[in-house]
Structure 1
Amino acid sequence: MSRPLLITMGDACGIGPEVAVGAWAADRGADLRLVGDVEVFRRAVEMLGLALPVALLDTPTDEPPPDCLPVWQPSGLPDGLLRQPLGQISAVAGAAAARCIEAAVAEQQAGRSSALVTAPIHKEALHAAGVSYPGHTEMLQALCADAQGQLPPVRMMLANDQLRVVLVTIHVALRQAVDLITAGRVLQTLRITDAALKRSGIASPRIAVAGLNPHAGEGGLFGDEEIQHIAPAVEQARSLGIHASGPFAPDTIFMRARHAPPAHPGEFDAVVAMTHDQGLIPVKYLGVEDGVNVTLGLPLVRTSPDHGTAFDIAGTGRADPSSMRAAIRMARQLSG
């Protein structure tokens, strides 16, 4: 077969296995393989009330029997995963989630997988397992370091059918985020965004840049980050042939970029936002169930659903796989 698309299990105590199984059952694509504990996936099948056999594969590229859920269980998973209480933080579940990510990334690096879709993990469970990374993005970045240990510059993009937003800063305190907004970092974000959108088939991406301050600083009246850092980065990007513009007032630029034809065609293909909440609130307001998290800048394709482990509904069979299905569609698009 062609190289499979791998879907990691996520935290076994959350809804990751359920949305992975639900997405596969809705799609049943021949390219999909689930990565994780086979018994956890069998439990998820039961939770969803599906009459679905589960096939344990020796390698991700093996062909499963017809109409069977294809599961590859990597070596090194901890014992006792099914004994961990659903909806609670577990070091065992954190360790298993990390191992699945490591194994799936190794498959991509070896050229045996086309793309990676990651089900939600829990940061506290990772920490309890002794995994030092705060989340998927940082772990994937470390796993993709070059031979000299140099980390690839990465950015988070959250996208749905109406809006794409790329973040200059991610999981840091707001006070620290302001200090991280430099001309170099904004320019790097623009270059990463431009390259990623071109790979997805947009020949000349139109990228809007949001300001940091109210009214984009109003000419320095409300802050000078736009004058000192953001505007110079936009000008330098334009000199490199990147179709960037701004900085624009952040309270209106997302509405201008929103693509909802025929009544409202978007003016831009993506918005570069300065901080986590500035960028993610407008995307999530349009519908968490349709959102996809894409890590840009990695030497591989990685997407994930736009939601967390949802411990409060884990095991109830009520988890909505829509965002996981959207992440799968996006991964296919980005991997060609």
Structure 2
Amino acid sequence: MDVIEQTLQVSKCKLLHHFQVAASTNNLLLYRIEGLQNGEYHQITGILTQFNNRCWRVPVYPHEQVDYQKVCDIQQSITKSKAINTPSYFVTKSDSYPKKKLDVLFDSGTLIAKFTNNALSHSVVCMHDADHIKEVISAIECIEDFLIADGHHRFTAYQQQVNSGIETVRSLPVFITHASQARVKSFELICRLTANFNWQRFAQYIRQLGLLSCNRSIADYLITYQNEQLAVAFDSRINRQDDTKRAGYHFELIIEKLTGFSGIDFISSEALEFYEENNEANSQLGSRSHQYLFIKTKSPSIDTIYQDAINGYLCPKKSTCFLFKPHEDIIDYLQQELRVAS
């Protein structure tokens, strides 16, 4: 985390665990994330609070499947550390969400910390005015439902702990904002290839799936291999019974159809992690570029994800990535600053 500015007026924001919306009117933490996305400035402002399973009475819908081994790993971590410090990310489409009010309050709040990470600016302010806090709490309590944008594994681990009757932690840190402020993209798929892979045979197979070459701007899939690139979209003449409208359809279909294809060893949605670990883009893999193929899938809309979640449909695990999400170390960071200031 590259800290470029810190304002540590934290004496009035007594203890971090007091920022639970449902239980405290002493203070309220507002969190703003802003920066460029695809060359355009974007800003979201939300509430940094706590989710307590015993206090919240509205539905919280997951939209993505989870890896239960990862859930077990988080459970073990919770047991060891007695805490969950990485916030989950909730969004809502409710008209009750006080978006305009929060924007105004943020600009008048006490700035606790400000830092940059991956070119995005993160700012946290603390509200102390009891009337304003009560107004925000009243609005939040009128919200009909929430969608988990990020943090499914943490949420599941917390829920399992509560359901088991073992309260290692009493609540889960969450960042809440309106769905209209959120941005989402599909994770890029990475395919590890074997010596049997043949690009021409692969491109022919793709077209046999009812996918037609098209302009990149309207592509359902953008496939890159070495210096080759293939942009394809679904053939509108083929009746797919609206399957393409489901949030996870593109992701599910390409994984299903390429699993077992000659020359493809395995397919993973961890392309982003791959880039970070190798510190290079797919166009810069050099002598190893023949070993990998990359697939970008068309991103679903947040409205589609939300409605599918309400209807009980879950996207494949690691298929969507909500952008402008809270920094994973924001709670640890704030707690450290509180200790330094005390």
TM-score by length of 1: 0.23
* Greater fraction strand: 2
* Greater fraction helix: 1
Query: RCO higher in 1 or 2 (8 Å CA, sep ≥ 6)?
Result: 2
